[in-house]
Chain A
């Protein structure tokens, strides 16, 4: 990007203003000696060149990457070329959600001697291009610009200045997934080899039972102790190792605000942790985002799927007044038998309707309540009574919502601030009943 052009600098304007004020004072008071206040400023102005510098500044800004995870470092490099410039100041204006690794290096100034040298007599050795490099850290997931680079240059003994502001390209900052174990498995597992212990007997590693030997059984499966005791060959049976389908539903319904932001943050981080844990075990994972236009991604495996899910999660923050229709979610997005984990603050009645609908379609649902805030109570005594009453009603309403979901057979788990998702989901982890 190039600068818009050169203009009189703040220094020129100040010097001219001071000189003008002194001359006006001299005329108004009739005190001729006040011209002495203006003379030095006018002398300095006379030394400044009257012709504007011809060349303009051009700024090249590069980012070390266009994607990163929360808390990862991104390097921003800005290089300036062109223009006979005496001073070049390159500064970074980080976005509110971005932290500069070294705040002392936010502004970098370079001194040159371009304007002092006539164009006919070029430098014997070309000067190095002024360049600045910053390391920033994105603190919050989302798709946003990490800030802007502001380059200002002065030439003609500080008499002219120009500035360029370059908005940095948006970064895709994926939520950082905490490590957790994928012990939560649906009752019905897929007929695909995986790492979860299924109900059916198969070729897994978990012991499932004993049965008499039949021709064709492998000798290594013979249980010697039981065979000797019963006088007949018996073999061990093993539980089949099956894969699971996980679909994470993020409820981003509701208006904008700090509370909605916090619940969405919790939901996105929880979903990222869960999806990562399942994808690591050769399971398939998908996502449905409730909020505005319905968005989904059918279950698939591999870390590539994680990035596709993360990209979809970045779009969960956009507000919309479109009411989602869960009935429009295709079978590929919610395959039968998939474990559906819903991260919801349970504030919007549309979300409750969607959950009821999903449950009625026969999906094993688990709801993680991501709301961690309660409505504030006024400290004023007169209002605090009313607020307290309203708070009690609000709590009762939420309790009724949770009870209604439990009646439908949907467990609702509360995710308090500071708790790990692994421990939140722990009560639902039960070893599957093995068919004998």
Chain B
């Protein structure tokens, strides 16, 4: 395929994915969110030239979801749509073969899928409230913080 045509198709697909991300929760959302979704749609269209358009569109989608009555399956799909849209908007210009770049993003999408599946699985388990669970969660948070922090320090130190 001609590289220019391929890039054009990829850009069209990005816009379509963005519009789908914004429109997806509208079926379960109140009527006033349509205006917000409209703004989100405009932000999607403007995102090609305006960098903040992407974040604005995702914000509109999240607000629509927050006030909607959508179930967990719908929200999980919306989460994946948001991830897909955010990944695809990073498509660099001037690529001769966008397909290769898109294939390179699959691991991130799979990671997102696994995370969504983990949360869905957690929702499926009805765990009674427990102090031990709270302590375990806090410990996990502190451990994650401690693991992450030295990396940042190292990288700061290594800077000239």
Q: Which A residues are closer than 8 A to B by beta carbons? A: 5, 9-11, 14-15, 17-18, 21-22, 25-26, 28-29, 31-44, 46-48, 50-52, 54, 86-87, 89, 91, 104-109, 111, 154, 157-158
Contact = CB atoms under 8 A, between A and B. Distances in A.
B72 interface: yes
Given A89-B92, A89-B93, A33 B66 contact: no
Contacts of A107: 92-94
A46 B111 CA distance: 8
Interface string B23-54: 00000000000000000000000000001001
Contacts of B54: 14
B75 A37 contact: yes
Nearest to A9: B90
A42 B117 CA distance: 12
B94 A91 contact: yes
Contacts of B148: 50
Contacts, number: 144
A37 B104 contact: no
Contacts of B87: 11, 44, 158
Given A44-B108, A47-B108, A36 B116 contact: yes
B62 A25 contact: yes
A51 B151 contact: yes
Contact of B90 (A5, A11, A34): A11
Contacts of A29: 66-67
22 contacts: A9-B90, A10-B90, A11-B86, A11-B89, A11-B90, A17-B55, A17-B58, A21-B62, A22-B79, A33-B123, A34-B65, A34-B75, A36-B119, A37-B62, A40-B113, A43-B118, A47-B108, A51-B151, A52-B155, A89-B93, A109-B95, A111-B104
Contacts of B83: 15, 40-41, 43-44
B65 A37 contact: yes
A107 B155 CA distance: 31
Interface string B110-148: 011111101110010000000000000000000000001
A37 B82 contact: yes
Q: Which 8 A-B pairs have the closest CB atoms?
A: A43-B115, A40-B112, A107-B94, A40-B83, A25-B66, A47-B111, A36-B75, A44-B108
B75 A5 contact: no
A44 B109 contact: yes
A105 B94 CA distance: 7
B112 A39 contact: yes
Nearest to A41: B83
Interface residues of B, number: 53
B76 A36 contact: yes
For A18, A21, A86, the residue with the greatest tally of chain B CB atoms inside 10 Å of its CB is A18
Contacts of B108: 44, 47-48, 157-158
B135 to A, nearest CB: 20
Nearest to A159: B108
Contacts of A86: 104
Nearest to B107: A47
Contacts of B72: 33, 36
A37 B79 contact: yes
Contacts of B151: 50-51
A5 B159 contact: yes
B20 interface: no
Contacts of B67: 29
B40 to A, nearest CB: 13
Nearest to A54: B158
Nearest to A88: B92
Interface in B59-81: 59, 62-63, 65-67, 71-72, 75-76, 78-80
B65 A25 contact: yes
B66 A31 contact: yes
A320 to B, nearest CB: 41
A9 B4 CA distance: 26
A50 B148 CA distance: 7
